[in-house]
Amino acid sequence: MVETVKIIRFHAEKCRGHYDCEKACSQVQFGDDTGGDHSAIRIVKSNGGFSMVNCDQCGLCIDVCPVQALKRLPSGVVTVNKELCIGCMSCVAFCPVDGMRRAKGMVYPHKCISCGACVRACPEGALELVEVPISEVERVVYYHQGVCD
Amino acid sequence: MSEECLNHAETARTIGRGNGPFITGNTERTHDIDRLRSGHKVLAEYTFERRPVKRGYAGRILYVNLTDLEIREIPLTSDVKEKFTGGKGFGLKMTWDLMGPDTRWNDPENILALNSGPLNGTTQYSGMGKCLSTTVSPSTNIICDSNAGGYFAPYLKFSGFDSLILQGKAREDILVFIDGTAGKVTIETAPYEETNSHLLSEQLTYMYAAEDSESARQKVAVVSAGKGSENSYWGILNISFYDPRRRVTRMKQHGRGGLGTVFRDKKLKALVARIEGFNGMTNDPQDIDRITETGIKHNREIRDLDMHENNMRTVGTGNLVEIMDAYDLLPTENYRFGSFPKASRIYSTRFYKRFTQGIPDGCWYGCNIACSKAVDGFVLRTGPYKGERVTVDGPEYETIGGGANMSVWDVDWILEFNFYCDTYGLDTISTATAIAFYMEMYEYGILNKERCDGLELCFGNAEAVLEFLHRIASGDRSEFIQVASKGVRRMKDHLIAKGWGDPDLIENCGMEVKGLEYSEYVCKESLAQQGGYALASKGPQHDEAWLIFMDMVNNQIPTFKDKAEALHYFPIWRTWFAIVGLCKLPWNDIVPADNASTDEPAKIPEHVRNYAEIMSGILGREITPQDLMDQSERVYNWQRAMNVWMGKGRRKDDIPPYRSMGPVTEMEYLSRKERYDNQLKELVGISPEELSSMSIADRIRVLREHRYEEYNKLVDAVYYRRGWTPNGVPSPKKMRELGFSDEKEMLEMLQKAIDDDDAAGLNVWGGSYGEGDEIPCDDPRYWE
């Protein structure tokens, strides 16, 4: 039984917009340091500061995947199995926090695996890897939608 | 594979998240795969070169002759691609090339074609896995096209073929196995497998899966019919898609026109396609970003709006039941009425509770409309599988509407009806519509228990309905079952020949055109839908011109001209889905939030642009929305021309029974008296005094004359708009404009038909036009 999962926590007040996290992430995801759409974590300007867009390991995507390519590992982290993935990007479309990402030209999506590379890369200490109970993040959203009397 | 791995009883498990546990369906059977396989003898084998799909096309057509056991490839020429695009376009073209006009459904020459299409198999946009099939229908004796989801068409293409053409008749039960992993096609005897689809598709999925894994089972697609298909004109093809969460081989249906009847007549037990693997690049799109970004945008619309629009993801097309009931359009007691006090018992809220929620229910990968709902763990109450726990695919709106039509207001009986129709290979629509007609005849005493061979087919008798299905499937030879299982048209002829009732009443009440039963909408008040049904190429199925919603619910085509134009535009637009291999629901069962403020909301312009984007991205050349219409208009006219060729493409073949146009009986008139009285006053110009002196029978007669006159005027306008003669024949001039200048035989055939009509004086308007009335065209020979 998976009880906890590590997620990335963002401290907006510390972020200075270096984007080193994105570069570090794209090293993990694609072996380059272009950041941007090659990164799972995205830093966006908002209200004069910055905010983070990233997977919170809620697992909603597991429910929309038609080929069960998305799984929650024993560590609690949700991952994409590219052997099974058929590239429909339903997970990208349905992710409520835009945490499932697609890079240009790519058949498969990519996402945060809570490896902590971004945390280590941030010179300001704006990112933190924290362990939280699964029950705090897990969502089974769609089932609750639609008609019901 | 050992038989243990199929012992589902041992592995039956509870799955599901957040929705409580449920037992997987179809789980309590053990199949001895080794024994089943031991009966297989390879009768013919063909090895083909494995080649990847190029820009949406495999580039080859697979031809299989079951009489001669011949298997060969037909290269796809650029001319055929340009003129017919794909899907049913290829099926129609191959049928024209390989078959004569007098071929009937059970002649060995009859062709059953299963087709994909250039967009088919795409995973990045919803609804891209439809199989489009054509054959000569037993009900109509013209070409019937039918479409279904499931995995067969994409797997056929990924194996190397855009279409599969089946001709001839086998001598014993066989299956055709298309092995895309080994590059091999075999014809094999299949004596031991079950015939009924829910078991057969499960057996073959396990038998042909490359290994014992959920993923391997997902890469097998099975096409099958059932015992009902053998013994009726309502045969369907069930196309499988393995559901790894339910651990069930599920099925979608080629419902209309008796494709399964032809399938079993050819002694086909099954078709099996297997592939190694695929992804979003297997269809070889030229610009993956273009199609993926369009798909993500559309899927986000579904995510955000479906729950506010149609709830397709939670209840499927069943969401329509309550809307149709509210607008007096839900067929009740053989279309006599459009609503009923008990209807709320079968509203989608009732089915919502029964459908297992939270599972991706697309019948092709990446479809997020996900309307293929299923009821798991349903325990059957009747028939050969009584007491067994099964998964019921659906029901969709049409099946629930069929329940209403038979006055069966009970979720469980509708599920039971749905399950047995599917596994027996019976079309729920034709079956329900026909039974509803028999029930009405029973009510009038034209049929009775004795004439129905012991069946008490009164409205609402669900047990008799199920008994009827079981007797069809068992091959019952009694007279009633033999006639009744061939549908409304044959039953009308039977009742009239026996002299059991007023021929006019029988003709008016039986809901068929061209020999095919109506689908489940009351269109008495919708002139546009009357035309949508009766003018449809294959017979009265709503997929060609589902105008009822825009006409009656959204009021988007209020004027006569709007309706005539809609009957030009929408059949052509809707045909487009059938030539590229797509489902129509992602086009109009979800609409963008700002759709209502666009110039033409009924067309859903943004989604039309999406499709042009996707097609451009796959083919690698710019395609405009107008190009899509041009592609489609060619095939649409070709199909009508083939109807002319086969003897059912004239005005006389496009006339609906009066039940679809207005009240046939006094009871119907009285049930909506205010509405009809007002129409007589306002539309026909009868004064209140005059009206009060008229009997109900007179009022029915006058209203009927008025409605047929309106209908004929509509047909005049539509034929003219389509470039057809006033008798409904596509003119050679029109066909040349569409690009068929080189198709000399087709042009000559049409010219001869027009000349024959001329000689018979049939090239005249159907409506009567007085002074001040607008004639569709002043030129009396406009088609020349």
Closest CA to B494 of B444, B441, B458, B457: B441
Is residue B706 a part of any domain in this protein?
Answer: no
User: Does the structure show a pLDDT above 80 at A143?
Assistant: no
pLDDT at B26 (0 to 100): 60
Over residues B286-296, mean pLDDT: 98
B224/B229 Cα distance (integer angstroms): 10
Assign residue B79 a region: left if phi > 0, alpha if psi is -120 to 50, beta otherwise? alpha
Is residue B90 a part of any domain in this protein?
Answer: yes
Q: Do residue B133 and residue B215 come from a single domain?
A: yes
Q: Do residue B86 and residue B131 come from a single domain?
A: yes
Is residue B524 a part of any domain in this protein?
Answer: no
Contact assignment for B215 to A66 by CB distance below 8 Å: no
Last residue of a domain, one of B274, B296, B314: B274
Closest CA to A47 of A19, A15, A22, A7: A15
Contact assignment for B124 to A89 by CB distance below 8 Å: yes
B765/A123 Cα distance (integer angstroms): 82
B322 falls in which pLDDT band (50, 70, 90)?
Answer: very high
DSSP B447-508: S-TTTTTT----TT-HHHHHHHHHHHHTT---HHHHHHTT-HHHHHHHHHHHT-S-HHHHHH
Q: What is the DSSP letter of B551?
A: I
Chain A residue with CA closest to B124: the answer is: A88
Reported as a single tens digit per residue, the pLDDT across A120-139 is 999 999 999 999 998 888 77
Over residues B722-730, mean pLDDT: 97
DSSP B659-707: GGTS--SHHHHHHTHHHHHHHHHHTS---HHHHHTS-HHHHHHHHHHHH
How far is C-alpha B767 from the geometric centre of its chain's CA atoms? 31
**H/E stretch holding B533:** helix B527-534
Work out whether the CA dihedral B563, B568, B574, B575 comes out positive or negative: positive
- What was the ipTM of the complex prediction? 0.94
Last residue of a domain, one of B499, B517, B535: B517
Q: Closest approach of chain A CAs to the CA of B125, in angstroms?
A: 7
Is residue B140 a part of any domain in this protein?
Answer: yes
Q: Which long-range contacts (CB under 8 A, 24 or more apart) does B80-83 make?
A: B81/B57, B82/B739, B83/B634, B83/B739, B83/B740
Contact assignment for A145 to B314 by CB distance below 8 Å: yes
Domain containing residue B268: CATH number: 3.60.9.10
Q: Do residue B225 and residue B326 come from a single domain?
A: no
CB count in 10 Å sphere of residue B116: 32
Q: Do residue B225 and residue B95 come from a single domain?
A: yes
Strand partners, B426: B235
B498/B324 Cα distance (integer angstroms): 37
CB count in 10 Å sphere of residue B177: 23
Contact assignment for A140 to B17 by CB distance below 8 Å: yes
Q: Do residue B447 and residue B321 come from a single domain?
A: yes
Side-chain half-sphere exposure of B702, counting CA atoms within 13 A? 18
User: Does the structure show a pLDDT above 50 at B208?
Assistant: yes
User: Which candidate from B280, B311, B360 shows the least CB-CB separation from A146?
Assistant: B311
**H/E stretch holding B377:** strand B374-379
Q: Are the C-beta atoms of B431 and B402 separated by less than 8 Å? A: yes
**H/E stretch holding B166:** strand B163-167
Over residues B635-647, mean pLDDT: 98
pLDDT at B30 (0 to 100): 77
Provide the edge-to-edge strand list for the sheet that holds B248-254: B42-47, B184-189, B174-179, B268-274, B220-224, B237-243, B248-254
Task: For residue B284, give both structure tokens.
Answer: 């070889």
Q: Do residue B84 and residue B192 come from a single domain?
A: yes
Q: What is the DSSP letter of B138?
A: T
B234/B622 Cα distance (integer angstroms): 42
User: Does the structure show a pLDDT above 70 at A144?
Assistant: no
Q: What is the DSSP letter of B550?
A: I
User: Does the structure show a pLDDT above 50 at A34?
Assistant: yes
Lowest mean pLDDT among B62-66, B123-127, B307-311: B307-311
Strand partners, B47: B184
Last residue of a domain, one of B454, B487, B517: B517
Contact assignment for A147 to B319 by CB distance below 8 Å: yes
What are the sequence ranges of the domains in chain A?
4-143
Q: Alpha-carbon dihedral of residues B492, B494, B499, B502, nearest 10 degrees? A: 0
Tell me how many domains chain B contains.
2
Contacts of B181 (CB under 8 A, 6+ apart): B210, B274, B275, B276
Please tell me if residue B292 touches chain A, with a CB cutoff of 8 Å: yes
Contact assignment for B360 to A65 by CB distance below 8 Å: yes
Q: What is the DSSP letter of B54?
A: B
Is residue B544 a part of any domain in this protein?
Answer: no
Reported as a single tens digit per residue, the pLDDT across B415-460 is 999 999 999 999 999 999 999 999 999 999 999 999 999 999 999 9
Please tell me if residue B431 touches chain A, with a CB cutoff of 8 Å: no
Contacting B with CB below 8 Å, chain A residues are: 63-68, 84-90, 92-94, 102, 104-108, 140, 142-143, 145-149
Q: Closest approach of chain B CAs to the CA of A147, in angstroms?
A: 6
Work out whether the CA dihedral B761, B764, B766, B768 comes out positive or negative: negative
For residue B593, give the 3-state DSSP assignment. coil
Is residue B579 a part of any domain in this protein?
Answer: no
Is residue B128 a part of any domain in this protein?
Answer: yes
Mean pLDDT, chain A, whole residue set: 91
Contact assignment for B313 to A142 by CB distance below 8 Å: yes
Measured between its terminal Cα atoms, the distance across chain A in Å is: 33
Q: Do residue B322 and residue B218 come from a single domain?
A: no
Reported as a single tens digit per residue, the pLDDT across B19-31 is 333 445 565 677 8
Domain that residue B373 falls in: 306-517
B229/B223 Cα distance (integer angstroms): 13
* CATH 3.40.50.920 is the classification of domain A4-143: no
User: Which candidate from A88, A142, A147 shows the least CB-CB separation from B280?
Assistant: A88
User: Does the structure show a pLDDT above 80 at B735?
Assistant: yes
A47 falls in which pLDDT band (50, 70, 90)?
Answer: confident
pLDDT at B359 (0 to 100): 85
Q: Do residue B264 and residue B360 come from a single domain?
A: no
Q: Do residue B341 and residue B479 come from a single domain?
A: yes
Q: Closest approach of chain B CAs to the CA of A90, in angstroms?
A: 6
- Tell me which chain A residues have a C-beta less than 8 angstroms from the C-beta of B360: 63-66, 90
Q: Are the C-beta atoms of A115 and A73 separated by less than 8 Å? A: no
User: Does the structure show a pLDDT above 80 at B531?
Assistant: yes
Q: Do residue B263 and residue B315 come from a single domain?
A: no
DSSP B261-274: HHHHHTTEEEEEEE
Contact assignment for B360 to A64 by CB distance below 8 Å: yes
Reported as a single tens digit per residue, the pLDDT across B601-635 is 999 999 999 999 999 999 999 999 999 999 999 99
B208/B43 Cα distance (integer angstroms): 18
User: Does the structure show a pLDDT above 80 at B4?
Assistant: no
Q: Is pTM beyond 0.90 here?
A: yes
Q: Do residue B57 and residue B204 come from a single domain?
A: yes
User: Does the structure show a pLDDT above 90 at B187?
Assistant: yes
A112/A21 Cα distance (integer angstroms): 12
- Tell me which chain B residues have a C-beta less than 8 angstroms from the C-beta of A67: 215, 218, 244, 365
Closest CA to B62 of B203, B173, B158: B158
Under 8 Å CB pairs connecting chains A and B tally to 105
Domain containing residue B378: CATH number: 1.10.569.10
For residue B395, cis peptide bond before it (omega within 30 degrees of 0):
yes
- Tell me which chain A residues have a C-beta less than 8 angstroms from the C-beta of B124: 87-89
